[in-house]
Amino acid sequence: MKPFLTIAICTFNRADLLPRSLDSVRNQMRTSADLEIMIVDNGSTDHTRDMVAEVQAEDSRVRYVVEPNAGISHARNRALREARGEYLAFLDDDAWAEHDWLHNLIGTIKSIMPAPECVVGPVSLVWEDKKPEWFPARFESLLCRYDMGTEPHFLERGGYLLTTNSLFHRETLLKLGGMRTDLGHRRKVLIGGEDNDIFNRLLANGCRVFYEPKARVFHPVPKER
């Protein structure tokens, strides 16, 4: 049976953090046969492959794919091509999902008619150390904080999305050409803009982006940040 949803976690040298992200999703999939998880390894040199193999030994819904071209946009486009699901959700390799994240994502798709082409949810920061008093709240978005309020709603022009916590209708994203590979992080080159680009292209092509505040994930802020 073709999966309804593929959850993609793109990763690079995060073998020590990846289990938390992976388990936060697997714990919500115990009885969901129409879901799959895809780990897209973007050229890791640590023990990522071995760690994923251990998970695969006990969970056949976990797939492992290698994308050798460096860059998060290359990895996400590989997920887009390889996914079997009608919908494709992304979760960062150092983030983890709230216990009802999956339920709320899927519930949005199934309750709104016609279904939106993209659903996004909030990203809450978890500081590894105490948040510095001097750090302005308005700059937290630079650390992946994303919050569009407490009410579910469609996003309009002038808004934005974070792929950190997102779901796309796969065929729609394919027709739009996927993510721009000249944008997005490439190893230590922190080029951005790919999220704003896909958001603007979605809206320009008449697609709808829906914000669901209950589909929450958490993103760490290491002390070194």
CATH number of the domain within which 40 lies = 3.90.550.10
Q: How far apart are CA 150 and CA 223, in angstroms?
A: 29
The residue assigned the tokens 């071209």 is 69
Question: Residue 41 has what DSSP assignment?
Answer: E
Domain count, the chain: 1
Q: Taking Cα atoms as reference points, which of 97, 114, 89 lies closest to residue 4? A: 89
Residuewise pLDDT in 10s, the chain (225 residues): 677 999 999 999 999 999 999 999 999 876 566 899 999 999 999 999 999 999 999 999 999 999 999 999 999 999 999 999 999 999 999 999 999 999 999 999 999 999 999 999 999 999 987 888 888 888 888 889 999 999 999 999 999 999 999 999 999 999 999 999 886 555 554 445 789 999 999 999 999 999 999 999 999 998 665
> What is the rounded CA–CA span in Å between residue 74 and residue 203?
22
Domain, as residue range, for 106: 5-221
